[in-house]
Amino acid sequence: MKNSPKKSADQHNDLDGIGTPIVRTKLSRLGITRAQDLLLFFPLRYEDETRIFRIAEAPERDLVQIEVTVAQAKVEFRPRRQLVVTVEDDTGSVILRFLHFYPNQQRMLEVGARIRVVGELRMGRHRLREMVHPRVKKINENNPLPSTLTPVYPTTKGLSQPSIRKAVAQAFTIADQSDTLLPSCLTDLGLPSFAETVSMLHRPSSDVDPKVLKDSRGIFWGRISFDELLAQQLIMRKNYDKREQYTAPLMKPNTIEMKTFLDQLNFQLTNAQNRVLAEIQTDMAGRVPMRRLLQGDVGSGKTVIAALAALQAIGSGYQAALMVPTEILSAQHFKKIEEWLTVLGITVERLTGSLTQKERALVSEKIASGTAQLIVGTHALFQDDVIFNNLGLVIIDEQHRFGVKQRLALIGKGANRLNQTHQLMMSATPIPRSLAMSFFGDLDVSALDELPPGRVPITTKLVSNTRREEVFQRVQETCHMGQQVYWVCPLIEESEVLQLETAIQSHEIIQVRFPKLRVGIVHGRMKSKDKTAVMEQFTNGGVDLLVATTVIEVGVDVPNATVMVIENAERMGLSQLHQLRGRIGRGACASTCILLYGQKLTDIARARLKIIYENIDGFEVAQADLQLRGPGEILGARQSGMPMLRYADIERDTLFLEAARRFAPEFLAHHPKLAERHIDRWYGSREKYSEV
C-alpha cells in the first residue's frame, strides 16, 4: 500500500503536533492517523527499568536491571569471536557476552565505566552468572531511572520504540481522555475509568505488578475489551435500527398457494422448518425490511424454506432473486425450485455467467419486464446491466461465500432507495453464539436446529494413504449395491492447475481400476454446460462414481450418494471438510466419509482431523474451528464489512460481550452523543463500516 505523507496529513490533521512527518507516515502504516488512535495503541509487553537489582539478589531467567562497574573487558576467540566483559557491584560479579559488537560498544565498556545493564541472568560456564547480549546504557544525568515501566509496542519497519513512546507521550497531551462510559456502568462492571486505564496501560507506575498488566483478564485490559466490544455493538445496533427508516414491501403469506406448494412435496416440513418459516413470514409481512440470517447445518433443509419465502414475495406481486456461489448449485436449485413452483404457474429463470450473449439478453429482458418472477443465479445477478422490474426479496444462499459489497450490490437493485428489499441470508456454516452476537449483531437469526427425520448418521473414518486398496474395495462394494460415491481431490491452494491435474489423474486411475464402473469427473475448469451435464448424470444415477474438486463443496444434493472419499483431507479447513461431508448422509442409507491422509501429519493437522472425526454436528465443528483459527478466518468475506477486534476476544470475553450487547440499545437511546463519541474513539479513523 502506498501512503504518501502529504495525502495522509491532508486527510487527518489529527496527528499534527506529533512526531516528525516520517514518524507520522510510519504510524499511519500501523493504522494510526489521530492522536486518539495512539491512546488505543497498546503495548505488547512491559520491561521494568525502574528497579536496580543487586547482583547477589537478582533472580535468574527474568529480565533484570543491574548497575555495575566494568572490571575487565576482552575479546575472546573461543568458541568464536566474542566480547566478554566482567562487571561487578558490591555484592558480586556477572559476565556480559556479546557475539556481535561494534567499536563504540567496546569503547563504552572500558574498564572502570559505570553502566546500567538490562538482560536475563543465566548460569554460564564454570558456575559464573552471565548475560548474553544485554542492553547497556552509560549512567549520566541524561538518563535518570524511569519512574514507570517501559512499554514495548508492536511496530513497523523503521519506527523505533523510542519514537513510538514519544508519540504516545505527545498524544497524552493532545487527545481527549474523558470517559464515554457512564459512572454507573463502570461501577456495575467493576471497571476503571478510561483515563486511568490508558495511563495505566501506557505508563504503568513501578509499584504495579507487571503480571496484572500482562493478565488479559485484569481490570485494565478488561476495560479496553469492553470498550471495544461496546463500540462494535453500537455500530451493529445502529445498523439494525436504521432499517426502521426504510419501508419494505408488504408481503402477506397466501395460505392457498402455500398449501398447494406443500402438498406436492414428498415430505413434511420439520418443526424447525415450520418455526423458521413463521419467523420469515412475519418479517416479510411487516413494513421494516427483513434482514434475517437462516442458519442450519448442512442437510437441514434450507432450500425449501427459500422457495417458500420466494413464493410469498411472488404471491404479493414482487420478484425474488436467489443468489448462489457456484454454477453447479445454481443449476441444482433452479431445477428443484422450478419443479416446485411451476405447479403454481410461477416463472423461474436462471442467470449465470455462462449464458451466451443471446440467452443472457433474453433472460435480462424477462427480468426487466417482470415476466421472470424468481431468478436463480450466480454473481451474474448483480452486474450493472441486470435491471429488475420489481425486486422485493433477495435470498443469498451460502452467504459466507459472498462479500458485503456483493450483497449490497444485489440489494441495491430493489425498487427504490427507500422502498428496501427484504433479505434472507442462508448459511450452513453454523455460527457460534459469540460470533453471532458480535459480528452478526445487525441481523436477526433463525436456526434450523433439527435435521429431517430418517437420516442415518454419517460414519467418519480416518485412513492413511497407505491403505488405499481397502478404500478401493469399499468403493466398489458401494457401487455394486447401487449407491454412489464422491471422490474428492485435495484442495491445492497454491495452484488450481495442480488440483486439476490430481483430479484428472485420479479419474484415470479409478477408471483403469474399475473398468465396469461409470466414472465421471467435474472440476472448475470445465465448461459450465459440461459441468451441469455431469452433475445431472450423477443426480440421475447415470454415473456411479464422481471424481470432483472442491467445486461440489456447497449445496450439492444427491441423496443416493453414500460414500465420500476425501484425498489429503489434512490440507483442508474444518468448515470445508464439514461442508463436503454434508454432501452424503442425505438419504435413508448409512453413509461413510473416508478421510485419506498423507504420511506426515503435523500436530495441528492431526488435531483438526480429530475434530472432524469426533464431531458430526456442524456447530461443534464451527466452535472448534473458531478456537483453532480465530474469527477472522471463519468470517471470511464478511471481514470487509466490520473491522476485526484488536484487543477483545469474543471467546475469552463472553461476559463483556453479553454486557455490551445488553447495554448498547439503552446507551444509544438515552445518551446518543456519548455513544457517538464512543464509536468515534474506536472506529473514527477506520474505513467506513458497512451499512445494513
102 binds, among ligand ADP, Mg ion, none (CB under 5 to 8 A by kind): none
Q: CB of 243: closest distance to ligand ADP in angstroms?
A: 26
Whose CB is nearest to ligand ADP? 301
Q: CB of 235: closest distance to Mg ion in angstroms?
A: 30
Residue from the set 555, 582, 618, 641 that interacts with Mg ion by CB under 5 A: 555
Q: CB of 454: closest distance to ligand ADP in angstroms?
A: 7
43 binds, among Mg ion, ligand ADP, none (CB under 5 to 8 A by kind): none
Q: Which is nearer to ligand ADP, 586 or 608 (CB)?
A: 586
Separation in Å, CA 677 to CA 7, 176, 192, 194, 683: 25, 10, 18, 13, 10
Q: CB of 624: closest distance to Mg ion in angstroms?
A: 22
304 binds, among Mg ion, ligand ADP, none (CB under 5 to 8 A by kind): ligand ADP
Q: CB of 426: closest distance to ligand ADP in angstroms?
A: 7
Residue from the set 299, 377, 414, 432 that interacts with ligand ADP by CB under 6 A: 299
Confirm if 280 and 292 have CB atoms less than 8 A apart: yes
Q: CB of 274: closest distance to ligand ADP in angstroms?
A: 9
Q: Is 642 a residue that touches ligand ADP (CB under 6 A)?
A: no
Helices within 17-108 (DSSP H only): 21-29, 35-39, 103-108
Residue from the set 65, 180, 197, 273 that interacts with ligand ADP by CB under 6 A: 273
CA–CA dist 330, 556 (Å, integer)? 10
Interface characters, 568-607, with ligand ADP (x: CB under 6 A): ------------------x---------------------
Residues sharing a CB contact under 8 Å with residue 384, sequence separation 6 or more, in sequence order: none
Q: CB of 466: closest distance to ligand ADP in angstroms?
A: 34
Q: Which is nearer to ligand ADP, 94 or 558 (CB)?
A: 558
Conformation bin of residue 590: beta by default, left when phi > 0, alpha when psi is -120 to 50: beta
Long-range contacts of 126-135 (CB under 8 A, 24+ apart): 128/93, 128/94, 128/95, 129/55, 129/60, 129/92, 129/94, 129/95, 130/94, 130/95, 130/96, 130/97, 131/94, 131/95, 131/96, 131/97, 132/97, 132/99, 133/97, 133/98, 133/99, 134/96
Confirm if 270 and 452 have CB atoms less than 8 A apart: yes
Find the distance separating the first CA and the last CA of the chain, reported in whole Å. 28
Interface characters, 441-480, with ligand ADP (x: CB under 6 A): -----------x----------------------------
Q: Which is nearer to ligand ADP, 195 or 344 (CB)?
A: 344
What DSSP element (H or E) covers 48? none
CA–CA dist 254, 192 (Å, integer)? 56
Beta strands in 489-627 (DSSP E): 519-522, 545-548, 561-566, 591-597
Confirm if 305 and 273 have CB atoms less than 8 A apart: yes
CA–CA dist 47, 74 (Å, integer)? 29
What DSSP element (H or E) covers 464? strand 458-464
Q: CB of 296: closest distance to ligand ADP in angstroms?
A: 5
Q: Which residue has the cell 484425498?
A: 567
Q: Position 75: which residue type?
A: V
Confirm if 596 and 471 have CB atoms less than 8 A apart: yes
Q: Which is nearer to ligand ADP, 197 or 273 (CB)?
A: 273
Q: CB of 306: closest distance to Mg ion in angstroms?
A: 8
Q: Which is nearer to ligand ADP, 97 or 583 (CB)?
A: 583
- Longest Cα–Cα distance in the chain: 99
Confirm if 387 and 413 have CB atoms less than 8 A apart: yes
- The DSSP secondary structure of 373-424, one letter per residue, reads -EEEESGGGGSTT---SSEEEEEETTGGGS-HHHHHHHHTTSS-SSBPPEEE
Q: CB of 303: closest distance to Mg ion in angstroms?
A: 5
* Positions in 375-434 near ligand ADP (CB under 6 A): 428
Residue from the set 43, 249, 289, 301 that interacts with ligand ADP by CB under 6 A: 301
Q: What residues pair up with 593 in beta bridges, in sequence order? A: 460, 564
Q: CB of 450: closest distance to Mg ion in angstroms?
A: 16
Q: Which is nearer to ligand ADP, 414 or 555 (CB)?
A: 555
347 binds, among Mg ion, ligand ADP, none (CB under 5 to 8 A by kind): none
Confirm if 626 and 439 have CB atoms less than 8 A apart: no
Burial of 644 (0-12, 13-18, 19+ CB in 10 A): exposed
Q: Is 304 a residue that touches ligand ADP (CB under 6 A)?
A: yes
Residues sharing a CB contact under 8 Å with residue 602, sequence separation 6 or more, in sequence order: 570
Sole window of 172-180, 296-304, 473-481, 563-571 interacting with ligand ADP (rule: CB under 6 A): 296-304
Sign of CA dihedral 352, 318, 406, 444: negative
Confirm if 678 and 180 have CB atoms less than 8 A apart: yes
Q: Is 303 a residue that touches ligand ADP (CB under 6 A)?
A: yes
Q: CB of 333: closest distance to ligand ADP in angstroms?
A: 9
Q: What residues pair up with 350 in beta bridges, in sequence order? A: 376
Sole window of 292-300, 342-350, 561-569, 682-690 interacting with ligand ADP (rule: CB under 6 A): 292-300
> Residue 551 has what DSSP assignment?
G
Q: CB of 24: closest distance to Mg ion in angstroms?
A: 50
Whose CB is nearest to Mg ion? 555
Q: Is 270 a residue that touches ligand ADP (CB under 6 A)?
A: yes
Q: Which is nearer to ligand ADP, 225 or 562 (CB)?
A: 562
Q: Which is nearer to ligand ADP, 73 or 276 (CB)?
A: 276
* Positions in 485-544 near ligand ADP (CB under 6 A): none
**DSSP strand pairing (63-76 vs 114-120):** antiparallel
Q: CB of 316: closest distance to Mg ion in angstroms?
A: 25
CA–CA dist 343, 136 (Å, integer)? 84
CA–CA dist 69, 114 (Å, integer)? 5
40 binds, among Mg ion, ligand ADP, none (CB under 5 to 8 A by kind): none
Sole window of 67-75, 123-131, 269-277, 681-689 interacting with ligand ADP (rule: CB under 6 A): 269-277
Sole window of 439-447, 464-472, 495-503, 548-556 interacting with Mg ion (rule: CB under 5 A): 548-556
Residues that bind Mg ion (CB under 5 A): 555
Residues that bind ligand ADP (CB under 6 A): 267-270, 273, 296, 298-304, 428, 452, 555, 557, 559, 586
